[in-house]
Structure 1
């Protein structure tokens, strides 16, 4: 092998190994420290938020156990379970998009320069462990995920500009909106479905009227996207696909740097052996 070729191979191998070490360090730092946290914005003026819950509930398993603990001694009805889960999400999170940064996932962060949806967090476990702000699709999906964990059928609903969820119990759907902190209830105390709310103009204005444009989103329900099967699916196929990509990227953010390190060292060694 010519000397110039050996030198270039050594340089390439060294650079690859060093880049691998750097990326592995970034991935490890973001995965196991607060450097990988998503957005954590102050609460809106009217929003409920208990900062103490952020330190008390730092992973999804603890979130589930907290629901179970709050339900202890309470009437075990689906409506009661949903109220406890809804209250916990509302009080644990503020409003903003939970996104991947360079430390949480360098692959998705870089891909975000091609399209910002790659940086959007999709994993419910990460919602809880990395920050305390969620966008409407994230908070509603986390509530959906909790409902399924407590044996309540649920579906994700896209309103062409806002996302909510519905839980199925008492032979009907019931609307829960943790982002805008809305549970629409009629005079008898029944939690309404999205369709029932859309047909009751008085209650629609009461609950969504204070939020500009939101009442129209509910009224125009012919354009809504519902997803209840397969269980745990998001309201549109792109979200489900991106969630799979995110899951794969969680492994690749470690595997690719390791491959770069091993490949770089092998190339450097091969060039050195062919002097």
Structure 2
């Protein structure tokens, strides 16, 4: 554990960028070789849009990184937050508890709130409009949503009392996990089910991208699946019934045009159907 702590205490921006790029490349190659769904789309054109949003997410996080660092350092110095109030425990258990709590507040909770608060849904909608879910879809977030998620990350660090090395570790695991569960790949059904008891598996997350309610409002997990199971937001859907996107924005000019996606949060709401 000490080696991991030391590495993520000093991890460079270059290493973090290489992990992000390496994950996309790995899952891109796998899904190209053995795709779960053979989409009739221009994979490179689709990737350009999603990578644009990935870059804007990086820019937002880089611009606000000062606040992240200051918050994490303050919690450590002031001994503030859940982790700092725990009795002395094994370093592995300490890390697992911290990662679980960061996932709960900084990922599951913000995701749930974005679905329930209409104003925030306007920004998160961009992620759901994608009708060709693949590994590049993982960071398809409007810049406005990136700011919202950053605020919740700060909140999570404060409540959890997470040191900076743990924040970097969580963000690294999060990047790889989201690239994995968005990738256009398929695992053996039994393996996927077993994985879904511990982490968000591809089948589990793809249900969240089904185009109609109530499936869109389920399976909010990011890395760990436990929160969906505890809070009753876990659901399943047969693979052959999956249709990606949002029923209100199924036309290509709505979900596959960058200028429209950037304007989407400021357009009139469309009524969402339920089944």
Q: Say which structure is richer in strand.
A: 1
Q: Give the alignment's TM-score, normalised by structure 1.
A: 0.25
Larger radius of gyration: 1
- TM-score normalised over the length of structure 2: 0.25
